[in-house]
Amino acid sequence: MDIDSIYIVIPAYEPDEKLIALIDELSSKNTYKLIVVDDGSSSDKKDIFDNIKDKARLLTHEVNRGKGAALRTAFTYIKNTYEGNYSVITADADGQHKPADIMRIADALKEHPDKLVMGCRRFKGDIPLRSRFGNNMTKAVFKFAAGVGVSDTQTGLRGFSDRLTDFMLGLSGDRYEYEMNMLLEAARDGIGFYEVPIETVYLDENKSSHFNPIKDSFRIYKDILKFSCSSLLSFCVDYVLYSVIFAFSGSIKLSNVIARVFSSIFNFLLNKKVVFKNKENIYKTALKYFALAAVILAVNTFLLNLIVKYVIKNEYIAKIIVEVLLFLFSWTAQRSFVFKKEGLTTDEQK
């Protein structure tokens, strides 16, 4: 892809001299358009911003609004002031992203304009425990929730082409959750990821990191939580119908089949509209969903009869056990098969 301009966006809150050094080195390349967003820094940082304002376009928030808001301010400025083909690279102001790695992101964008290009650290060697724990936890849960693996969920070094500007502007979150929402929504919308290995740099044991293992991980867990609530509601519908029909008929198979038909319709509509927010043709997704539902029903009924015959004689308790056993299978299958977005991949630069 031919790119007319490459913008490097650096949100800065209470920066130090490392921002000056980064701007000096990037501006010496005469290749990039630099944008720095002063996100409501205190007045004693004025000298730092004065030092760079001749080398970078300086945008200012009067009060601190958060990293997500700062990024959107820069993206809006680019969209409103430039009409050609461009790419955007986001980098941090604290010196953790080397100019050489920023340039590698720019090179990768030329070959992968439709993907979210990410500078990913390898987390080898002497890595602060906080960072190792946070990244390992979030990337494991992200892979389960989104259906695609990302080796560094917390990297602020990312790049995208002008084709994704509207997507970036539509993301929610004004603070550090914006970057996690970017990954989750990209996965949901079928935008692929391309990873570029970068140097791992930690300053002062990474004490300046704003990653919150509980709060930020919850932004991934919430999708699984929504699915769990959907499954619980559907289970309630299924279990009530199963219990009522079994009380009258005495037939496990008949009760399970009828209950599952009605609960599956309820679950499909809930998952499509609320959990996975799928916008594909309802008939196409319904065909896949009920094909999966038929398989799960067959397995469900088989296991239910097997448990009642050989393990637990109580048909009501056996029903609960089977539903729990099939929960994770149902989540994975719906995410990866029924409501999967086309084009979702993760590639890595060798």
Q: What is the mean pLDDT of the chain?
A: 85
Tens-place pLDDT, residues 151-207 = 888 899 999 999 999 999 999 888 888 888 898 888 878 899 999 999 877 555 545
Percent of the chain with pLDDT over 90: 47
Q: How far apart are CA 347 and CA 191, in angstroms?
A: 12
Name, in order, each residue with C-beta under 8 angstroms of 287's C-beta and a sequence gap of 6 or more: none
Q: State the pLDDT confidence band at 119, using cuts at 50, 70 and 90.
A: very high
230 to 64, 219, 243, 268, 340: CA distances (angstroms)? 37, 17, 20, 9, 18
Q: Which DSSP string corresponds to 251-302?
A: -HHHHHHHHHHHHHHHHHHHIIIIIS---S-HHHHHHHHHHHHHHHHHHHHH
- Specify whether the CB–CB gap between 98 and 180 falls below 8 A: no
Percent of the chain with pLDDT over 70: 84
Tens-place pLDDT, residues 121-144 = 876 655 555 556 666 777 777 777
Q: Fill in the amino acid letter for 21.
A: A
Does 145 score more than 90 pLDDT?
no
Q: Fill in the amino acid letter for 322.
A: V
Q: How far apart are CA 307 and CA 251, in angstroms?
A: 15
Vertex 104 angle, CA 98 and 107, to 5° = 150
Q: How far apart are CA 101 and CA 90, in angstroms?
A: 12
Helix (H) or strand (E) holding 240: helix 213-249
Record the tokens describing residue 42, joined without a space: 């205190």
Tens-place pLDDT, residues 6-31 = 999 999 999 999 999 999 999 998 78
Q: State the pLDDT confidence band at 274, using cuts at 50, 70 and 90.
A: confident
pTM for this predicted structure: 0.69
Tens-place pLDDT, residues 73-117 = 999 999 999 888 999 999 999 888 999 999 999 999 999 999 999
Q: How far apart are CA 11 and CA 80, in angstroms?
A: 18
| Overall average pLDDT of the 328-342 stretch | 72
Kindly tell me the sign of the dihedral angle through the C-alpha atoms of 75, 215, 236, 285.
positive
Vertex 118 angle, CA 211 and 90, to 5° = 70
Please give the domain boundaries of the chain with CATH numbers for all domains.
5-211 (3.90.550.10), 221-338 (no CATH)
